Structure 1
Amino acid sequence: MVIEVVRIGQRVVRDDRVTTHVALVSRAFGADRIFMSEINPEIKDTIEKINRTWGGKFEVEFIDKWKSIVKKKKEDNFKIIHLSMYGQNINDAQEELQKEENLLIVVGAEKVPREIYELADYNVGVGSQPHSEISALAILLDRIQKGKQFEKDFPDAKRKIIPTKNGKNVQVKETRD
């Protein structure tokens, strides 16, 4: 399964942290790439630094227009999932989503254009109360993959957290620079 995320919009400065967290959750929860527009380029630097330290090949790609990437992915047989509080409840959609091969998840910032509701193959809501797009993305990615994304190690990791009941245990790989 290939999973990619597109972040639509960003409230300048205010959303830098939120957009960074959308990228971090995408990476940690098994997505392969995130497309971003209207973004602070430092976010890409942050994610690349995380990749170098914690492993993986997660990609950040800047785009000019969200619509062109959504349409291109549809042509490439990706199913488009729009995360929306007003969508179909995730409990009713998750089994169908788990069967899909290629997914592009649309995560909005401010009010998303009406057109995304029409372009999406799935409009999916996580709960019926106001909440963060970060939490909705994490829940969606976990439900789609049934927790299997946490069973794999990230390649080339210099650090790895070793689960432990008490305290912290971080394995640090020796490197020669």
Structure 2
Amino acid sequence: MHDEPEVAVLRLGHRPGRDDRMTTHVALTARALGADRAVLVGDTSQSTETVEAVTERFGGPFAVERVDEWRPLLREWDGRVVHLTMYGEPVQRVQGAVRAAHADGDPLLVVVGSQKVPFEVYDAADWNVAVTNQPHSEVAGLAVFLDRLFDGRELEREWTDAEKRVVPTETGKKVVDADERGEPSSE
């Protein structure tokens, strides 16, 4: 993921007050499952601040940015575009082609909508991809897509510059501080 071409997630549409939590979860899912950055459209300052705070506490690299207009990014993107939609081709049918393009050096822009997505997004996409053709959460679709793209490698990712680290345990919760060498030390 670090030596691979960029994977950016573009969150289209944001209704303040209504979509704050969902937009935040799209960006956190992008971060946790291997994307390099999330681009949030509209008045998403609350989501942006939350994701920046999580990245500061739990490490990176990951960037989150806010833009007022998504069309310039889509128009100027120098790579391939994947639009996640329930109306697209099944992910299992296109994952090989998407993985191959990424492995060949093509950066990927993964577009995740909220409200009705304009047809120009469908038209601009190299792949319109469905994680099932049933209504469900865009967060779930993004998670499945990224896991398929990275073939599970994102689950073993190493995080740098973290203040905290979660230690997997069978039961309970364990969070440790990172010392000067970046190694965990118990609280």
Question: Aligned equivalents of 1:39 and 1:31: distance in 2?
Answer: 22
Question: Aligned equivalents of 2:57 and 2:86: distance in 1?
Answer: 35
Question: Aligned equivalents of 1:40 and 1:91: distance in 2?
Answer: 32
Counterpart position of 2:118: 113
Give, in angstroms, the shift of residue 159 of structure 1.
1.3
Question: Aligned equivalents of 1:173 and 1:152: distance in 2?
Answer: 16
Q: Please, which moves more after superposition, 159-168 or 91-100?
A: 159-168
RMSD of aligned residue pairs (Cα, Å): 1.3
1:56 to 60, 65, 70: 60
Counterpart position of 1:92: 93
Question: Aligned equivalents of 1:72 and 1:8: distance in 2?
Answer: 16
Give, in angstroms, the shift of residue 66 of structure 1.
1.1
Counterpart position of 1:19: 23
TM-score of the superposed pair, with normalisation by structure 2: 0.87
Counterpart position of 2:172: 167
Describe the SS at the equivalent of 2:134: coil
Q: Please, which moves more after superposition, 14-23 or 56-65?
A: 56-65
Matches within 5 A, 1:12-161: 12-73=16-77, 76=78, 78-101=79-102, 102-161=107-166
Q: Which amino acid aligns with 1:142?
A: D
TM-score of the superposed pair, with normalisation by structure 1: 0.92
Q: How many residues align?
A: 172
Give, in angstroms, the shift of residue 166 of structure 1.
2.7
Describe the SS at the equivalent of 1:12: coil
Offset from partner CA, 1:8-35 (integer Å, 9 cap, x none): 1112310010000000000001111111
Q: Please, which moves more after superposition, 148-157 or 79-88?
A: 148-157
Runs of 4+ in 1 over 6 A off after TM superposition: none
| Contact 2:14–2:44 (8 Å) recurs in 1 | no
Give, in angstroms, the shift of residue 99 of structure 1.
1.3
Offset from partner CA, 1:94-153 (integer Å, 9 cap, x none): 111111221000000100001111000000000121100000000000000011012121
In structure 1, the gaps of 5 or more residues are: none
In structure 2, the gaps of 5 or more residues are: 181-187
Offset from partner CA, 1:50-73 (integer Å, 9 cap, x none): 111101131111222211101111
Question: Aligned equivalents of 1:61 and 1:159: distance in 2?
Answer: 23
Describe the SS at the equivalent of 2:101: coil
